[in-house]
Amino acid sequence: MAKLFGTDGIRGTVNSHPMTSQIAMDVAVAAGHIFRETLTYRPTVVIAKDTRLSGYQIEPAMVTGFSSVGWDVLLLGPMPTPAVAALTRSMRADMGVMLSASHNPYRDNGIKLFGPQGYKFSDKIEQQIEATVERMGQEGPDFALVGPDQLGRVRRLDGAEGRYMELVKASFPNDLRLDGLKVVVDCANGAAYRIAPRILYELGADVVEYAVSPDGLNINDQCGATAPKNLRLKVLETGADIGLALDGDADRLIVVDENGRVIDGDQIMALISLNMKNSGRLKGEGLVSTVMSNLGLERFLEAEGMRLERTKVGDRFVLERMKQLGWNLGGEQSGHMILSDYATTGDGMVAALQVLSVMVRQSRRASEVLNQFSPVPQVLKNVRFTGANPLDADPVKDVIREVEGEFGNAGRLVIRPSGTEPLIRVMAEGDDAAFVDQAVNRICEVVRASAG
C-alpha cells in the first residue's frame, strides 16, 4: 500500500488517494483500534476542522470510523490546529484529530493526529496505523470493530472556542494591554476567522479584520501567511501598527510591519528568543529551527550568546528536538513557532502575542523590534514533478555536487522534496546574492529536465 503519512499527517487532493472518505474512515478505525487495545475504559476523541468545503465530507467519515471501534466523539467544529492539541490535553481526551491541509488551497485536505498530551503522533505510531489500514484492506475491518452495544456516542462540544481563547490569552503578560494599538489580522478565511479577532479585541487592540468570511472555497486564496500582499496593502491603507497573517489552520504566523515590510519566521524567532533570554524565560542554549532558517539568524544567535539547533523541515521534527534538549523555543522560517511553555505545537496567535507584548512593553514600532538581523541572501524555488522523484536522477545529483563544491564554506544548499506536495524545493544562501540566484536557477533547470 502507498504511504499515507507525509511530513505533517496525511494530506492530498480530496477524492484522490490518500484523501478519500474511505481512507479517512479506515485511518480512524485503525488508530482507534490500536489505542483502544491498551485502554480499560471507553476512550474519547476530539475532532476539529478548518473551513474547507470538504470538511463536511471527511468529518463524518472519521466519526463513523471512531464510533465503530468504540470511541466517543466530541466535535469542535471549525477550530485552529493548536486548539485541538490544547483541548485534547486539557479535556483529558485520548486522541485529537484536526482536518486541515494548512496553507494548501481548498481542493486539498488533510488529517493530523494528536496523542493525549497534545503532541503529534510519532513515525512509529503512523507506521502502525498504515500497517493496520493495509491489514484491513486484505482481511476486512471485522477484527477491529466492536459489537452494537459498544458503539461510541457522538456530540458537539459547546464552548470550545472560549476555552481555547483563554488558553491563548494566558500566554500574554497579565500586566500589559493592547490598548491604542491598531492591528490588522488576516485569518486566511480559515479556522481562526472568529477566534483571532476576538482574542486581540479582548486584550484591548483596535482590530481590523481581513479574510474572515470563509465560504468553503476561499481558504488561503490570496490571503493568509503564504500570500501577505493584500495584508500589506491593508496595513498601509489603515495606518495600522502591525499586520498579523495566519494560515488556514492558524498554526503559522507571518507579520507585516507598519511600513508594509513582510517579516518571516526567522525574524520573529530572533525577537522572541532575545526577549525570552533577557527575561530569564529561555530554557536551554538557544532555539531549534530547520535547515531552511537563514544563516543570518544563526549568526545573530551566536552574537547574543545563543545557538541555533537545526533539524529536518517540519514542526514535528523541531518539537522532537526541543523535547530531547529540554528547550522551550523552536520554529520554522515559514512561520511555525512553538513556545512549549504554552503550546505543544505551532500556534500563530501565541507567537503573535509574544511579538505584541514586546512592542507594548518597549513602546517600540514593529519595524524596530522585528529587525534583529540582516538576512543572508537566500533564494528558494519550487519545481513541480510527476512520477519518479527527480532527485534520484544522476544529472541532478551531479549538478548538486558541482554547486556544493563551488559554494565551499561560503554558503548553504538545501534541496529536498516537499512533504505535502509533489514539489522539489531548491534553496541556496550565501553572502554573494548573484551567485546564490545563479546556483538555484542552475539546479532547477536540471531538476525540471529530469522531471519530464
Domain presence at residue 217:
yes
Q: Are residues 153 and 167 in the same domain?
A: no
Same domain, 124 and 176: no
Residue 140 pLDDT more than 70? yes
pLDDT exceeds cutoff 90 at 104 = yes
For the cut 80, the answer to whether the pLDDT of residue 342 exceeds it is yes
Query: Can you tell me the mean pLDDT for 383-391?
Result: 89
Domain boundary among 369, 391, 420: 369
Q: What is the mean pLDDT of residues 227-243?
A: 98
Spell out the alpha helix ranges (H) of 37-70: 55-68
Question: What residue type is 278 in one-letter code?
Answer: N
* pLDDT confidence band for 446 (50 / 70 / 90): very high
Q: What percent of the chain has pLDDT over 70?
A: 99
How far apart are the C-alpha atoms of 83 and 77, rounded to whole Å? Answer: 11
Provide the grid cell at 313.
Answer: 523541515
The answer to whether residues 75 and 31 belong to one domain is: yes
Of residues 416 and 195, the one with the higher pLDDT is 195
- Residue 195's CATH number: 3.40.120.10
The answer on pLDDT for 276 being more than 60 is yes
Beta bridge partners of 418: none
Active centre residues (catalytic): 102
Q: What is the pLDDT of residue 452?
A: 64
Asked if residue 4 belongs to a domain, the reply is no
Residues 330 and 421 both lie in one domain: no
In a domain, 325, yes or no: yes
Would residue 389 count as lying in a domain?
Answer: yes
Q: What is the CATH number of the domain that holds 425?
A: 3.30.310.50
Question: Distance between CA 178 and CA 346 in Å, rounded?
Answer: 23
Compute the mean pLDDT over every residue in the chain, rounded to the nearest whole number: 95
Sheet of 262-263, strand order: 206-210, 182-186, 242-246, 253-257, 262-263
Domain coverage including residue 329:
163-369
Q: Are 373 and 296 in contact (CB under 8 A)?
A: yes
Given 158, 181, 215, the domain boundary residue is 158
**Same domain for 167 and 154:** no
Residues 354 and 395 in one domain: no
Shared-domain flag, residues 133 and 169: no
Report the alpha-carbon distance of residue 232 to residue 324 in Å, rounded: 38
Structural domain contains residue 3: no
Both 193 and 257 in one domain: the answer is yes
Q: Is the peptide bond before 80 cis (omega within 30 degrees of 0)?
A: no
More confident residue, 276 or 416: 276
pLDDT digits (tens, 9 = 90+) for 296-327: 999 999 999 999 999 998 888 999 999 999 99
Q: Are residues 211 and 136 in the same domain?
A: no
Q: How many domains does the chain have?
A: 3
**Based on the domain organization, do 82 and 179 belong to the same domain?**
no
DSSP per-residue letters across 74-101: EEEEE--HHHHHHHHHHTT-SEEEEE--
The verdict on residue 341 lying in a domain is: yes
Query: Letter for the amino acid at 16?
Result: S
Q: What pLDDT, on the 0 to 100 scale, is given for residue 1?
A: 52
Same domain, 275 and 192: yes
Judged by DSSP in three states, 109 sits in strand
pTM of the model: 0.91
Identify whether the C-beta of residue 136 lies closer than 8 Å to the C-beta of residue 65.
no
Task: Mark whether 38 and 105 lie in a shared domain.
Answer: yes
**C-alpha cell read off for 101:** 491541509
Which pLDDT does position 2 carry in this prediction? 60
**The predicted structure's pLDDT at residue 388:** 85
Q: Check pLDDT > 80 for residue 444.
A: yes
What is the pLDDT confidence band of residue 8, given thresholds at 50, 70 and 90? confident
What tens digit of pLDDT does each residue of 285-300 get? 999 999 999 999 999 9
**Domain annotation covers residue 2:** no
Residue 67 lies in a domain: yes
CA angle 82, 307, 174 (to 5 degrees): 45
Residue that is last in its domain, among 334, 369, 404: 369
